[in-house]
Structure 1
Amino acid sequence: MKKSRINFRLDNLHLIISILTIELSCAIRDEAENGHVYAIDGQPSVTLECTAFKSRATDVQWLLYEKPIDKELQYLKNGKQVIKYTTPESIGRTYELIIKDVERRDEGTYICQLNGDILACGITLTVGFLHNSPSVECQLFQTPRIALNSQTPDEITQDLNLTCSADIGSNIVVNITILKSAEGQSVPLISVDKTQSNAIDDVKHSFQVNVSGLDGGRFWCVVLHHMLPEPVNCSTSMLVKPQAEIKEVKGSEFKCTSTTTPYPSDVSFRWRVCLTSENRSNSSIDSCEMLNNTSSSLTLMDKMNTDLMLKCEIENAVGVGQAYLNVTSEQPEDDDEVADLIWVKWVIGCLVVLLIIGIIVAIVVKKSEIKISLQEIGKKRDESTTNKTTTDVSQMPLYAIPNKNNNKGATNESSLNTRYEMHAPEPVYHVLEK
């Protein structure tokens, strides 16, 4: 009977010790993550905490590499001796270890030992460093989506993935906050803590954002760390929805373009044909039918026998731009009217040809008359020059000059002819009297 009582008491003692062991635990402060503390080389201090629940420890020891730390360890700073480790007086059941001027050699697993062997709690300290030029990048990625069959553009929404890629340092914990900026206001969307484990791989965080209706807005990635002199941030390009415009290329060919540069640049096109009333205004659309065309160009193959209004929609993730264009119908012409029009055109053509021929003949005749007149004027000019330089002998008076060779025995007539020869006097240049 006594033996059973002793066993019962021993069992109760083990139970009490087990319960006491469960009620003691370790806790950490500041940048704690699953028993891991991150600090930066050169950080002024880092604090480790150990807490006992429902029981107060009477003896607290801190160990590094399974050896008690030297609470008297000192170092020189600005010409003064400074104690490396301090253990402030406990507040309640919380016990602290403060490590000053953190260095890379302070890395390791620190053991919080409460009441001797009752509990051994380990906290790992990792000392990282910051880059001299920390950076962050923002990228928007389109989410695949099909919405071309939607009949109401206002109901179309598109989601994008915003990815923040930060390169801050190595073995550090940073806070990444995503903001939405629109109409002069910035609204935080999400804030998370991320660990950059090395200096090569960036720390990234992706978040799905809805950009519908945020024309002119932006998204920001802001990275925070208590050792950074100021936050590191970046923003996306300004969100721009398309502004549609329809242009008639030629005949029945039309093209829809955006007068702005949309962002995101991935756009889709939709065409609609609307029946309109007589005033052909945008507000007088009776009914619209979507065409099986998703390109920026449209060709109407059949001749239209009624007035239509073309409607083009350009959509990107931000919104939908719409444009309208009135198209006048081509009315068929009567056969008699067509024949009369052809006859009139033929007559006009003939008259034009005759008129051209008459003009050509008149020009040729006129040239001939001018040529004859010029020839006559030249002839008269030549005759006038000749009269001034040459005397006509036939118009001069004749004089009888006796013949020196007087042949005797000739007849009177012949002698007369031989005795007198008709000679013209030497020309004298003077004005002749007619």
Structure 2
Amino acid sequence: MLKKNISGVAALVLAAGLSACGGGGGGSNGSSTNPGNNGGNGGNGSSTNDGSWLTFRSTLDDILVFPGQPARAGITAQSSKVISETFNGALTDNIGVFNPDVRMDPTGSPLIYVFSLQTRAGLPAGVHTGALELKLCYDAPTTCARPIAGSPWQLPYKITVLAESDLHYSRWETATPSAPFVYGMQLATIGSSLAMVSVSPYTPQQIQTWLSSDNADSWQLSPAAGPTPVTNAYATAGDGTALYLSGGRDSNNNDTNHVWKFDGARWTQRTAAGEFLPREQHLMAKMGSDIYLMGGVNGSQQLSDVWKSSDDGSHWSRLATLPAALGRPTCALGWRGSLVVIGDTVVTSSDGKTWTERPVSSKSFPYKSSQCAVLKDRLYVTPSDGYGRPTYSTADLQTWQPERADLGRQFAAQGMAALNGRLFIAAGVGTSSREVMRTVP
């Protein structure tokens, strides 16, 4: 049983905040609620003693616990009034899934308090549900004959404890701690090697291709001359046998629509000007013998069109417009005969014309990720902002499995690669912590 007792004048939010502890469980965005009180209404905060003056924003409803790693959860409690009379508060965890240590973080506001707590070590695998109960009373919480209006509040939680057998790799590790590539990094595979396309910072600038045949322990610069003109914010795609590059912004700040192909030894231009509008910050994906191109920016215009080439990138035809719900597409690939595109949601299409939205139930799913790949016929998506948020994987686009988070990084590079039973991601820009990370089976 977890209890916190508070006495004081005008200390209402402190007590409420302690009762509402939670935070960081799986990276949920949280939701503002008026938790149910007096055992009724289950969350609208209304009863004979209206408790709607006290609201909570929490991550208690989506806490992920990985083996051997207790998770933190957080709650923000906000009051719309001050209680001037001395009162006591008690927070009760009847099941015992949380540690009794509660931390309060300063917010600078006397009416807003943020608290965090941690799940108890050794929780068995499975889903644990229940509710923390907060009592605020003018007398002792054990009797609470004089409750403050709205007391008690019920703060529901859902804790999912994963077993080792649920996970598909054991951890992430740093493979290249100080990578030689600098700007515009986009990661892929070609043959039995990892391939990194990047822009050299030196004059004259050039698009470089770096290759690694030892799981990113070392990298060698390909002698192949890169695509010209040199662009930034280009798109790349590959199928393991070749790489394709399109568009980007040139040194005169003009968007381009050229297409190039790298076969492992040399780059060749497929077209100097494709039929699609010049663009940058767009996506490409290879599915079967077809190459798809979508989205991006042309000047101040946000694009959502979809194009296809069936002749290795030489000619392009427009197919459709991406679903509005997708927002800006951030990652795309071909998998099991369908295009899979990630943005504000997940959408799929077997032909690039008709699109289907694939809702994901987890609040911590890494929407807007720029890093996705398929390993052993399983799709993985890792959050582009890192910072301890879990990777997710699926075998059917219906059930998504949380996986161990990467090591945390800034400036995630576009692309994710799968090779030799491992996943690879890159991050950094300029002099800022350029590195490549990989999973350990």
Give the TM-score band, short-chain normalised.
under 0.3
Higher RCO structure (Cα 8 Å, ≥6 apart): 2
Q: Normalised by the size of structure 1, how large is the TM-score?
A: 0.23
Q: Normalised by the size of structure 2, how large is the TM-score?
A: 0.23
- Please identify the structure whose Cα radius of gyration is greater: 1
